[in-house]
Amino acid sequence: MSLNLPIIPYKVSTGAEYDLTWNTVVNTNEGGISGRKAFQQWPARQFHLTVGPGEVSEFRKIFLACMGRVSPVGVRDWSDYQFTDQVLSLGGGGTSTAIYQLQETFTPATGSLSFVQPILLPDQTEVALTLKVNGSPYGGSFSVLDYGYVELLTPPASGDVVTASGEKLVPCCFMTDDMTIKVLKDGLLEIQDVQLREIFKEELIDLTGVADPLA
């Protein structure tokens, strides 16, 4: 893969918080009926992190290498970083290969609504990505491409359901160009309330210069 982002250390999970934010415009007419329009196809996550002494050195290096808000990083959403048997969507391919988009579907126990979100940064640092076809382990070889595409070298038959299990990261950028490092005592450092915000695929492409494999 060409996409190779710095990854925020996993050990900054202690006390981490995140906001899940849609961008909705609400216009109310004279009859009191509100028209509602979503300006985003997906919600943006905003992370609030406290960096402990053991991770300050690496965090400083990442912040400097990214030139603050300029370059993106990968962040683990500690409230939701694993996915199991998620149905993938066929993105392309030909007679010899098939390319699928990793994605996750969120369906409430009640009502008829559901939400599908692409997985742009599969994370195989600790757990390998696994695929199934119609519930059975996929026996062929596959490659993980940029932006969460997987290319199956032995294409499934038409109508087969391909699912994936694994772990994921969220593409983000720092929200400020400032970082305050607190000295707890000589040699013991801490960084409080580091904020990062999720970016979507189009911005990730623009910042990295790495093209969409299916473009």
Q: Report DSSP letters for 80-137, one per residue.
A: S-EEEEEEPEEEEE-SS-EEEE-EEEE--SSSS--EEEE--EEE-SSS--EEEETTEE
- Write down the mean pLDDT value for the chain: 93
pLDDT at residue 1 in the model = 66
What digits encode the pLDDT tens for the residues 44-85?
999 999 999 999 999 999 999 999 999 999 999 999 999 999
* d(C-alpha 97, C-alpha 151), whole Å: 7
Instruction: Give the model's pLDDT for residue 93.
Output: 64
CA-CA-CA-CA torsion sign (196, 201, 202, 204): positive
pLDDT score recorded for residue 146: 97
The full set of domain ranges for the chain reads: 10-208
CA dist 151 and 211 (Å) reads: 16
Which pair of structure tokens corresponds to residue 181? 């490092």
**Cα–Cα separations (whole angstroms), residue 65 to 33, 60, 61:** 50, 9, 6
pTM comes to 0.90
pLDDT digits (tens, 9 = 90+) for 100-125: 999 999 999 999 999 999 999 999 99
| 64 three-class SS | helix
pLDDT in tens, 117-171: 999 999 999 999 999 999 999 999 999 999 999 999 999 998 999 999 999 999 9
C-alpha 129/C-alpha 60 separation (Å) is 30
Per-residue confidence (pLDDT) for residue 163, from 0 to 100: 98
Q: Assess whether pLDDT exceeds 70 at residue 94.
A: no
Cα angle for residues 157, 127, 209 (degrees, 5° grid)? 75
Task: Give the bridge partners for 47, in sequence order.
Answer: 18, 196
Q: What gap in Å lies between CA 108 and CA 28, rounded to an integer? A: 28
Residue 95 confidence (pLDDT): 63
CB 56 within 8 A of CB 181: yes
